[in-house]
Amino acid sequence: MSGGDAKKLVRSPSGLRMVPEHRAARSPFGLDEPPWVPDKECPRCMQCDTKFDFITRKHHCRRCGKCFCDKCCSKKVPLPRMCFVDPVRQCAECALVSQKETEFYDRQLKVLMNGATFFVTLGTSDKSELMVCRLSNNQRYLVLDGDSHYEIEIIQISTVQILTEGFTPGGGNTRAIGMILQYKVPGSEEVMQMKFIAGEDFSCNKKLSAAWLAAMHKVTK
């Protein structure tokens, strides 16, 4: 593993985490561990108001840091946004959010990192270039490779507009055929624009391109 992407195993009160050695290499989708509500400040469950005692023990949700009884904080769910190695205890509300995010990590991020092929137009140019577009392994950059090479930092992306076709007044299905991406140039307030269109000559890649665009749309949310 390259130095920039190197990771280390750390132990926190919440569990084991595999985190980047350098904070600058963190994924833009990551979350910091929340501070735990101090035990002395939560004499009762913050969900059902059950009083804690020798029998009813308190537990902290690893996502929100609040105090709950075992009944209200019994689920152990993967929490990839905090880089936990194993599923961790979460309250019911946080567990639902984490379950949805796990699907995103397991599916959409893998699609983005595998990449897809598009005709890319920069700014107001009338010329397009065939490029392979993918998310970098550290999830920090959108990498475009063709005759040219671009790397766009995910946190600099301001707007993603998905382009579709196939809509009919009768309610026919649409499909994603491209997107318009706007992003800021680091160190400047200048906003750049790129247009991505799936190539019609690559019918075998249409499904892959549509899946990649759908995943990109979820990233922006």
- Report the CATH number at residue 147: 2.30.29.160
Average pLDDT over residues 119-126: 90
Q: Are 202 and 136 members of one domain?
A: yes
In this structure, is residue 25 part of a structural domain? yes
Range from 23-32, 75-84, 86-95 carrying the lowest mean pLDDT:
23-32
**Residue 77 · residue 14 · CB < 8 Å:** no
- Domain total of the chain: 2
Domain limit, last residue, from 94, 111, 128: 111
Query: What three-state secondary structure class fits 25?
Result: helix
Which pair of structure tokens corresponds to residue 122? Answer: 């920069």
Once rounded to an integer, what is the mean pLDDT over residues 25-40?
A: 89
Measure the CA–CA gap between 135 and 144, rounded to whole angstroms: 9
- Report which of residues 28 and 145 the model is more confident about: 145
Residue 204's domain spans which residues? 115-166+175-220
The answer to whether residue 95 sits within a structural domain is: yes
* CA 125 – CA 139 distance, rounded (Å): 28
Residue 3 has pLDDT above 50, yes or no: no
The whole-angstrom separation of Cα 110 and Cα 92 is: 27
Token couple for 180: 């318009």
For the ranges 29-33, 95-99, 185-189, the one whose mean pLDDT is highest: 95-99
Percentage, residues of the chain above pLDDT 90 = 52
C-alpha 180/C-alpha 173 separation (Å) is 21
Residue 14 falls inside a structural domain: yes
User: In this predicted model, what pLDDT tens digit does every residue of 174-205 receive, in sequence order?
Assistant: 778 899 999 998 888 889 999 999 876 555 56
Which residue type is seen at 92? Answer: A
Same domain? 102 vs 135: no
Residues sharing a CB contact under 8 Å with residue 204, sequence separation 6 or more, in sequence order: none
Check whether residue 64 and residue 94 sit in a common domain.
yes
Same domain? For 70 and 152 the reply is no
| CA–CA gap between residue 83 and residue 79 (Å, rounded) | 7
Q: How far apart are CA 22 and CA 171, in angstroms?
A: 50
| Structure tokens given for 217 | 């749309």
State if pTM tops 0.85.
Answer: no
pLDDT average, residue stretch 130-135: 94
- Predicted local distance difference test score (pLDDT) of residue 92: 94
Q: Which domain CATH number covers 28?
A: 3.30.40.10
Q: Is residue 12 part of a domain?
A: yes
pLDDT of residue 205: 66
